[in-house]
Amino acid sequence: MPRRFSSADPDFWARVEAYFTVPRATEDDVRGAVENIISDVRARGDAAVREYTQRFDGFHLQEDDFRLSDAEIDAAADKCEPDVREALAVAAGRIQSFHRKQLPEPESYTDDAGVILGARWTPIDAVGIYVPGGQAAYPSSVLMNAIPASVASVPRIAMMAPMPDGILNPDVMAAVRLAGITEVFPVGGAQAVAALAYGTDSVIPVNKIVGPGNAYVAEAKRQVFGQVGIDMIAGPSEILVVADGHNDPTWIAADLLSQAEHDADAQSILITDDAVFAETVVEAIDDLLTTLPRADVARQSWQSNGAVIVVDQIGDAVSLVDLIAPEHLELALAEPQDFADRVRNAGAIFLGRHTPEAIGDYVAGPNHVLPTSRSARFSSGLNVLDFMKRTTLVTCDAESLNKIGPSAVTLARAEGLDAHGLSVSIRLDAKDSDSGAGA
């Protein structure tokens, strides 16, 4: 059964902190296995990738370049059902529109000393996106990971996705065609991350890797960080619903199960000020679990990681939200804005009774790749800036250097870095500043 907490209990905060600050993911010993896979891919390239794909996904990659051809992608995408294709187009359009508004402007100004300062933004040269595909197909993840990169004008976007038995999912391939992806490889797991990071004969290495995956993928991203950039180490999915007693309990039950059905380590939390309502939601969850195709997964998640928290007043829940720092925060309240304004730690916030979190997974527009495992305390969801680099620009002339240079010389000497100071002082009061000649 889900954990129960009440703010009336004398040890309430101690119990809450003890429960919600402990990682939920199963502590599998994957580090060594991932180290071996990465080392093998670095040493043997395509041959290693083929062997792992055969072992884990049950098919042998073609012997030459195992990148999917345009014809293969098109043939699979053509099998996508018209209604799914239309829905993907709606989602792609909304995601693109939202992310276009994140594009930064270059900066340039002259300060009081006459120094010209500024910054410019340039896209990363090559990005790899990882799309999960073991237990289910996720075309929405294709759109969410690739479209911000495309909006940022990344010229090369390579996708890795496991395709068990070598079967190309039509919905995923249709999403590929909408998302601006330039290369697709039917490869998953740590071997996919290693190939993107270090390259093989078939895979040109990238500069950054984004996208969620299982424990092996997450560990692989951790290990290749530094060789390439990464977006985040994604953990199990989370939802926290703050709801008063005026909601339909079945609606809230469905919202909680929308994340529980992801995997057994996912977490669904209800915070309410109505104990009777809380019990009706729990009952509604039990009823819905008799109807869902993924009921076994959702039930295990709910029973192992679910939580119901009853507070005296809804306003008291803000501090709980900030402690938990959920990936998804749903505010099923009549007036949610004031509550949202006071929250500091949440990946994404969904306001009002008619804004289920699931709308954000598909068509709302903001990205559904969000910080998990309390990392919303210090990080943000995937966005266009994740695919761009900011370079600062400084321009001094002789006059402005003479104004600010002496302070630089003083600080350099204080730090014992005389060559630093000399590189500035040698230019101060120069007679021929245009030619660079010294006094």
β-strands 348-351, 328-332 pairing? parallel
Which one is catalytic: 183, 219, 262, 328?
328
Contact 434, 397 (CB under 8 A): no
Q: Which two tokens stand for residue 183?
A: 């290369």
Closest to 302 (Cα-Cα) out of 24, 6, 15: 24
Q: Residues near 364 by Cβ (< 8 Å), separated by ≥ 6?
A: 94, 98
What type of residue sits at position 340? Answer: A
Can 328 be counted among the known catalytic residues? yes
Which one is catalytic: 183, 219, 261, 327?
327
Contact 193, 228 (CB under 8 A): no
Residue 184 and residue 198: Cα distance in Å, rounded? 17
Q: How does DSSP classify residue 9?
A: S
β-strands 267-272, 229-230 pairing? unpaired
CA angle 146, 374, 254 (to 5 degrees): 75
Closest to 210 (Cα-Cα) out of 239, 238, 179, 177: 179
Q: Residues near 332 by Cβ (< 8 Å), separated by ≥ 6?
A: 241, 242, 243, 244, 247, 251, 252, 255, 352, 353
Q: Is 389 left (phi over 0), alpha (psi -120 to 50) or beta?
A: beta
Can 17 be counted among the known catalytic residues? no
Positions annotated as catalytic residues are 327-328
